[in-house]
Every structure is written in structure tokens, then in C-alpha cells.
Amino acid sequence: MLLVLKGLALGLLLTMMIGPIMIAIVQTSMENGWRSGARVAFGIWLSDTLFILACYFGTRQIVQITEWNGFELTVGVLGGLVLAGFGIGLLLKKTTEDDIEYQVEAIQLSRFTAGLKGFLVNTVNPFTFLFWITVSLTIVGKEASNGREAFLFYGSLMFVVICGDCLKVFLAHRIRPWLTFKHMHWVRTISGVAFILFGIIMVIRVV
């Protein structure tokens, strides 16, 4: 029971954190509709699931990888460049009021494009990797006596994360009809700048 409570608490913490993952979900939902936002969220959940499986079944190998001297630098630089690339793409994307009527119909991203966006934003974020490996070593590795307890912990954590992401998609979708083209332009601009800043900070930290 204690592991479930810890999983719920950590899931709530992840859900409330403001970072590139939250921005990706909210920005996509507001600009491209709730379906695209949900697909981005699904890509994030898929990435988290793969991290969980890798950490649970290959902790020793992962620890060896993290002990490589160039690991932090490589992951930080590549992750920062990917996030900055997303931001630059948002800033360079030109849309006029004649191209799209935001309050009537959203341009839905394809399942692959939206899912890949969420998957990459989550996967290249060093925090995601460090979070799951730390959780696996300090909580699951020490407190879970069997696979069932580990499943309950990871399951409760991901349950809160999924519910939280769905709530973000829903709220962004509900807000969207009240936004004018100018508002949407600012959402895209702020999101693009935020992605670039996250990318720069990520590179600076490792360099």
C-alpha cells in the first residue's frame, strides 16, 4: 500500500511540473485540437513505458551506461538541440487568419507526427531518464519485494500521469474556442521560445 501511495505522489509531482512536456501537450491541444494533443500525450506515455521496462529489466546495464564519462554531455547536447529545434520550428511556422479559422476547425496532426513529437520531447529530456533510473534504484529496487509490487508502484504512478495529461488536453481544448488568432499566435510564440530556452539551458548545464 505504501508503494502505491508513493507512486500516486510521484505521479502528481510529474503532472504538476512545468516543462517541455507540459508545453508540448497544451500547445498542441490548443493549436491543433484535442485529438492531436491526446496523440502527443500517448507518445509521452509510450516513452515513459519504455523507460520503465528498460530500468526494471536492465538496471545494471543502464547504470553502466550512465557511468560513461561522456554520457551526460552527449545526452544533454542532443536533447537540447532537439528541444531547440522544436522551438525554432514553431517560430518559423507561418499561419495567417486566412489559412485557418482557429475557432471553427483545427488542423489535426497525423497520428504518427503527433505521437512522434510527444515521444521525442519526453525521450530526449535527460530529466526523464534520470527520474526513472533514480526511482527504479531507490524505490523499486529497495522496497519492491516482487514483480507485483513493482507493477503496482509503476501502475499507480502512470495512472496519475495519464489522468493529469488527459486533464491538460481537456482544459486546453475547452479554452481554445475563446482564443482569437492573435492569442493563438502568442501561444505558438511563447511555446517556441520556451522550447528554445529549455534546450539552451539543457546544453549549458552539461557544457
Is 101 within a domain?
no
Is 10 within a domain?
no
- Which domain does 43 fall in, by range? 22-96+108-206
- In 3D, which of 193, 66, 75, 194 has the Cα closest to residue 123? 75
More confident residue, 51 or 131: 51
Is 9 within a domain?
no
Question: Which triple of cell numbers denotes residue 132?
Answer: 526513472
Is 17 within a domain?
no
CA separation for the pair 146, 144 (Å, rounded): 6
Is 164 within a domain?
yes
Question: Which triple of cell numbers denotes residue 83?
Answer: 528541444
Q: How many domains does the chain have?
A: 1
Check if the beta carbon of residue 153 is closer than 8 Å to that of residue 141.
Answer: no
Is 201 within a domain?
yes
**Does 120 score more than 90 pLDDT?**
no
Residue 134: pLDDT band with limits 50, 70, 90:
confident
pLDDT (0 to 100) of residue 158: 94
Give me the DSSP letters along 21-90.
HHHHHHHHHHHH-HHHHHHHHHHHHHHHHHHHHHHHH-HHHHHHHHTSTTHHHHHHHHHHHHHHHHHHHH
Query: Which range, 91-95, 140-144, 146-150, 167-171, has the best average confidence (pLDDT)?
Result: 167-171
Count the neighbouring beta carbons within 10 Å of the beta carbon of residue 51: 20
pLDDT (0 to 100) of residue 36: 86
**Does 115 score more than 80 pLDDT?**
yes
* Model confidence, pTM: 0.72
pLDDT (0 to 100) of residue 78: 74
Is 5 within a domain?
no
More confident residue, 112 or 100: 112
